[in-house]
């Protein structure tokens, strides 16, 4: 980084004297003034090391907007700390790993305290420094729950269930509980009330826009210059980069989203790809917003109970649940029957670029195969038109913004990938690079555990798969599609073909017994046609070809 850059000049002007301070290393996703020593130690006694790692950014084809989130928030956070009186050492890494960058800094400044990194990948990178005493681990207090909560709510061993965990937390914290210790409204979950399709009313809110300052513009220029070959569009006006920006997003979410969040939580629409979802996840996962403060604010809101409970369940229940599952299974590596994949170099990303991506490093990640699925992510997921309106709409929105809410992720992208036989590991890696809020602790449970059922019933009870009827009912994606969801859409035959291929693997699953029984009763010619359509669609999409009703006719 040039010393004449706007960021370097502002940091040099604001940075206080570094001598005589306690030094803390802050990972790229610990950008919160509320965290641990940042909130507890007087600013004049604290020094912070922040590492900007171009090698990490280049390791995978991360969405350009995701890179902008991390880099712009990291630089603005450095300035905010310095302006508070915290001494900041902002380092641009020239090494292959974080530990190689931090080792000489620890030798110079003394052992660096660090709150436990959320990402397993970074914890593994730093482990030798912990063993050497160059890094002193601290508890990460940005979470809402503890390992003890997880054990008390779910048990020591799988299968683990989120609803049990969530009920335990509601009782322990008193969140949405009445004076008699019963859940407000008589139920712990109002999920059954939150499945209405959205027909255009009430009007969906427009997310706030931000005027990029010189620091954010500088980050944008850096991304265009160094990472312009990465996928996705870069939109700095859609990027909350400062603490003030994060506060604006939360204020907008409280006023515009949460009053109507509940009924339309599962709805999908091409007219508004986030509907009433708050879009807080990238800011929460970077710790720009405190989950505890957000939870307290949400509980105090005067909004319908089904909306409030649905939001609380996502924040206090599911988000905490998946990070515990990831931690206690070492990223799914310790589960029976799970192998760790060796890196093939491109991680399946050649489907996008047409050539291998440089080796990503690391151990390749857990590769659970409870169900049949070994194909790479098809080009349609990278934005090549498939002819399926639902897939093309979601992929287009994703590469334009780096975001969709959780139902397109689960019931369009993960659903179709699972029906098509995509390898769970490849899909998890794809989610990791495509979404602005994606980190290993959240992606792997959501994809390997839930979206593909790759890890079996460890954390969910069944595969989340569906035919065209679900997508037609919960979205307007089918409008204008060449395929009719009631007759010609191949997704329904993909669904039946999936059940037939995985009959033996799912035979003992009580949640799929009715579906499997229905599949077995299908006439032999229908089952043969299901298998034929599956092979035809799979081959066409893997080749990057556009589907049409005519092409699928025998």
CB 358 within 8 A of CB 178: no
Distance of CA 355 to the CA centre of its chain: 26
The CATH number of the domain holding residue 82 is 3.40.50.620
Residues 109 and 155 in one domain: no
Whether 361 has a pLDDT exceeding 80, the answer reads no
Query: Six-digit token pair at 469?
Result: 């009827």
Q: Give every strand in the sheet of 135-138, ordered side by side.
A: 87-92, 46-52, 22-26, 112-115, 135-138
234 in a structural domain: no
Q: Which residues contact 375 (CB under 8 A, 6 or more apart)?
A: 420, 421, 422, 423, 426, 538, 542
Stated as kind and residue range, the H or E segment containing 23 is strand 22-26
Number of domains in the chain: 3
State percent of the chain over pLDDT 70: 99
Least confident of 109-118, 263-272, 339-348: 339-348
Residues 107 and 245 in one domain: no
> SS3 sequence, 405-429?
CHHHHHHHHHHHHHHHCECHHHHHH
CB 483 within 8 A of CB 388: yes
- pLDDT at residue number 354: 79
How confident is the model over 1-36, as pLDDT tens digits? 666 799 999 999 999 999 999 999 999 999 999 999
CB 98 within 8 A of CB 92: no
- CB count within 10 Å of CB 457 equals 18
Residues 345 and 309 in one domain: no
How confident is the model over 38-59, as pLDDT tens digits? 999 999 999 999 999 999 999 9
The CATH number of the domain holding residue 468 is 1.10.579.10
Q: What is this structure's pTM?
A: 0.97
- pLDDT at residue number 362: 76
Residues 438 and 487 in one domain: yes
State mean pLDDT over 195-209. Answer: 96
For residues 314 and 321, give the distance between their C-alpha atoms in angstroms, rounded to a whole number: 10
Among 113, 138, 163, residue at a domain's last position:
138
131 in a structural domain: yes
- pLDDT at residue number 2: 60
223 in a structural domain: no
Expressed as residue numbers, the domain containing 320 is 147-207+240-328
216 in a structural domain: no
Among the listed residues 426, 454, 436, the one whose alpha carbon sits nearest the alpha carbon of residue 357:
426
How confident is the model over 64-86, as pLDDT tens digits? 999 999 999 999 999 999 999 99
- pLDDT at residue number 124: 96
- pLDDT at residue number 372: 83
Quote the mean pLDDT of the chain: 96
Residues 346 and 320 in one domain: no
How confident is the model over 443-473, as pLDDT tens digits? 999 999 999 999 999 999 999 999 999 999 9
Residues 40 and 173 in one domain: no
Rg (CA), the chain: 24
String of b and e for 171-205 (b: at least 16 CB within 10 Å)? eebebbeeeeeebebeebbbbebbeeebeeeeebb
Residues 46 and 160 in one domain: no
Strand intervals (E) in 36-111? 46-52, 87-92
What does residue 288 show for φ and ψ, rounded to 5 degrees?
-65, -30
- pLDDT at residue number 398: 98
Residues 383 and 363 in one domain: yes
| DSSP codes joined into one string, 36-47 | HHHHHS-GGGEE
For residues 242 and 74, give the distance between their C-alpha atoms in angstroms, rounded to a whole number: 9
Instruction: Give the Å distances, CA to CA, from 140 to 166, 202, 216, 306.
Output: 21, 40, 28, 31
Among 121, 138, 155, residue at a domain's last position:
138
Among 91, 116, 138, residue at a domain's last position:
138
230 in a structural domain: no
């Amino acid at each position: 980084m040039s010393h004449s850059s706007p960021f370097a000049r502002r940091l040099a002007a604001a940075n206080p004297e570094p001598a005589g301070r306690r030094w803390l290393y802050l990972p790229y996703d610990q950008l919160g003034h509320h965290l641990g020593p940042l909130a507890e130690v007087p600013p004049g006694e604290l020094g912070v090391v922040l590492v900007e790692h171009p090698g990490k950014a280049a390791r995978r084809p991360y969405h350009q907007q995701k890179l902008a989130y991390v880099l712009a928030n990291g630089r603005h956070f450095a300035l905010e700390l310095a302006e508070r009186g915290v001494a900041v050492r902002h380092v641009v890494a020239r090494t292959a790993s974080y530990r190689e960058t931090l080792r000489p800094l620890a030798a110079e400044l003394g052992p660096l305290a660090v709150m436990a990194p959320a990402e397993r990948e970074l914890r593994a990178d730093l482990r030798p420094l912990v063993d050497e005493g160059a890094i002193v681990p601290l508890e990460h207090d940005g979470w809402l729950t503890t390992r003890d909560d997880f054990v008390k709510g779910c048990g020591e061993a799988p299968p683990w269930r989120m609803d049990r965990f969530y009920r335990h937390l509601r009782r322990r914290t008193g969140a949405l509980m009445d004076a008699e210790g019963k859940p407000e409204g008589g139920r712990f979950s109002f999920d059954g009330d939150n499945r209405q399709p959205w027909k255009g009313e009430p009007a969906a809110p427009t997310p706030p826009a931000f005027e990029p300052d010189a620091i954010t513009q500088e980050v944008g220029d850096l991304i265009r210059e160094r990472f312009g070959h990465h996928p996705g569009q870069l939109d700095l006006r859609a990027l909350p980069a400062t603490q003030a920006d994060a506060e604006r997003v939360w204020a907008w979410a409280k006023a515009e989203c949460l009053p109507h969040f509940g009924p339309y939580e599962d709805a999908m629409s091409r007219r508004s790809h986030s509907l009433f979802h708050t879009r807080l996840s990238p800011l929460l996962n970077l710790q720009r917003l405190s989950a505890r403060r957000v939870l307290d604010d949400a509980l105090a809101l005067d909004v319908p109970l089904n909306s409030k409970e649905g939001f609380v369940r996502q924040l206090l229940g599911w988000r905490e649940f998946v990070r515990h599952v990831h931690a206690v299974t070492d990223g799914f590596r310790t589960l029976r029957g799970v192998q760790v994949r060796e890196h093939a170099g491109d991680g399946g990303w050649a489907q996008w670029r047409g050539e291998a991506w440089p080796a990503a490093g690391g151990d390749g990640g857990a590769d659970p195969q409870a169900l049949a699925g070994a194909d790479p992510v098809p080009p349609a997921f990278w934005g090549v038109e498939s002819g399926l309106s639902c897939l093309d709409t979601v992929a287009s929105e994703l590469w334009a913004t780096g975001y969709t809410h959780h139902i397109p992720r689960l019931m369009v992208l993960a659903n179709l990938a699972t029906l098509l036989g995509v390898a769970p590991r490849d899909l998890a890696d794809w989610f990791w690079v495509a979404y602005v809020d994606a980190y290993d602790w959240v992606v792997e449970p959501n994809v390997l555990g839930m979206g593909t059922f790759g890890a079996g019933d460890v954390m969910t009870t069944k595969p989340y798969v569906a035919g065209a009827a679900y997508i037609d009912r919960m979205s307007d994606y089918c409008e204008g599609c060449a395929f009719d969801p009631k007759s010609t859409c191949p997704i329904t035959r993909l669904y039946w073909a999936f059940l037939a291929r995985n009959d033996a693997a799912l035979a003992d699953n009580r949640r799929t017994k009715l579906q499997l029984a229905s599949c077995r009763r299908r006439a032999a010619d229908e089952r043969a046609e299901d298998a034929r359509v599956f092979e035809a669609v799979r081959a066409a999409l893997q080749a990057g070809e556009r589907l049409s009703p005519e092409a699928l006719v025998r």
